[in-house]
Structure 1
Amino acid sequence: MGRILAIDYGTKRTGLAVTDPMQIIASGLTTVETKELITYLKTYVDTEGVEKFVVGEPKQMDNTASESEVYIQKFLEKMVKEFPNIPIVRVDERFTSKMAFQTMIDSGLKKKQRQNKALVDEISATLILQSYLASNF
């Protein structure tokens, strides 16, 4: 059984989260500059074995696609070319950034630490992955 890797895609930074090999626990992995993302993913997939990608799907409150979906679609086209044998699943990511910020507050992080946008992206990816895992059990 391979890992599931979640992606919270952003135009500048992209948060990543991953499951354990048994696909039970979702953990934050890192945040990568988006321009380096494909290179990072190639290395990670080669060394860790990824069974599936879960990519956040930003939606508006009325269920229509968010403005950032245009960029995500271009990224997904690259993903399909680079990783043709790894399925990609989309998961609604509404409110994940707000939930990530609240998680940071609840865990007692200081204000300075909560301003770390890379950490917010990584936590958001973890929440996307947890949502996917919960919906598939």
Structure 2
Amino acid sequence: MGRIIAIDYGAKRVGIAVTDTLKMIASALTTVDNADLWDFIVKYLAKEEVDIVVLGLPLRLNNELSEIEPRIQKLIRKLKHEYPHLKIERQDERFTSKLAVKAMIEGGMKKKQRQIKGNIDKLSATLILQDFLERCHY
């Protein structure tokens, strides 16, 4: 039984979260530079069984897609070509960064740690994954 991996795709950094093998718990995994994302995916998929990749759907408040969507679509095409067995899902990512910061504050994370952008990105990916799990009743 494979995991579910979530990607919070950003122009500079990409937050990544993953479930346990039972697909019950979403956990922050890492943050990678955008330029290193494909190498990370290839290495991760070589060592871990993954059934589903969830990519954040970058909607604005007016429900229009943000300017990063064409880059996400390019990644989706590459994933489908190189890994046709993977199921690709999308999850609305509105407000995940703000919720991530709020969670860090409420969790007692020091200001210096909260200012590390990678922490926000991987926590945002975790929130995307948790929302997906709740929506799909995993």
1: CA distance, partners of 2:16 / 2:135: 19
Counterpart for residue 117 of structure 1: 117
Counterpart for residue 17 of structure 1: 17
Gaps of 5+ in 2: none
Counterpart for residue 59 of structure 1: 59
Counterpart for residue 89 of structure 1: 89
Gaps of 5+ in 1: none
Moved more, 123-132 or 101-110: 101-110
Measured against aligned partners, the alpha-carbon deviations of 1:14-54 in whole angstroms (never above 9, x if no partner) come to 00000000000000000011111111111111111000000
Identity of aligned residues (%): 50
Measured against aligned partners, the alpha-carbon deviations of 1:103-135 in whole angstroms (never above 9, x if no partner) come to 110111111111010010000000000000001
Is 1:8 matched up with 2:8?
yes
Tell me the CA shift for residue 59 of structure 1.
0.3
- Corresponding residue pairs, total: 137
1: CA distance, partners of 2:9 / 2:83: 17
Tell me the CA shift for residue 83 of structure 1.
1.6
TM-score in terms of structure 2 length: 0.96
2: CA distance, partners of 1:57 / 1:27: 19
The SS at the match of 1:30 is strand
Please tell me the residue identity of whatever aligns with 1:88.
Answer: I
Counterpart for residue 133 of structure 2: 133
Is 1:80 matched up with 2:48?
no
TM-score in terms of structure 1 length: 0.96
Counterpart for residue 32 of structure 1: 32
Misfit runs of 4+, over 6 Å: none
Counterpart for residue 99 of structure 1: 99
Please tell me the residue identity of whatever aligns with 1:25.
Answer: I
1: CA distance, partners of 2:39 / 2:117: 21
2: CA distance, partners of 1:98 / 1:79: 28
Counterpart for residue 46 of structure 1: 46
2: CA distance, partners of 1:38 / 1:79: 9
What do you get for the CA RMSD once the two structures are aligned? 0.9
Please tell me the residue identity of whatever aligns with 2:25.
Answer: I
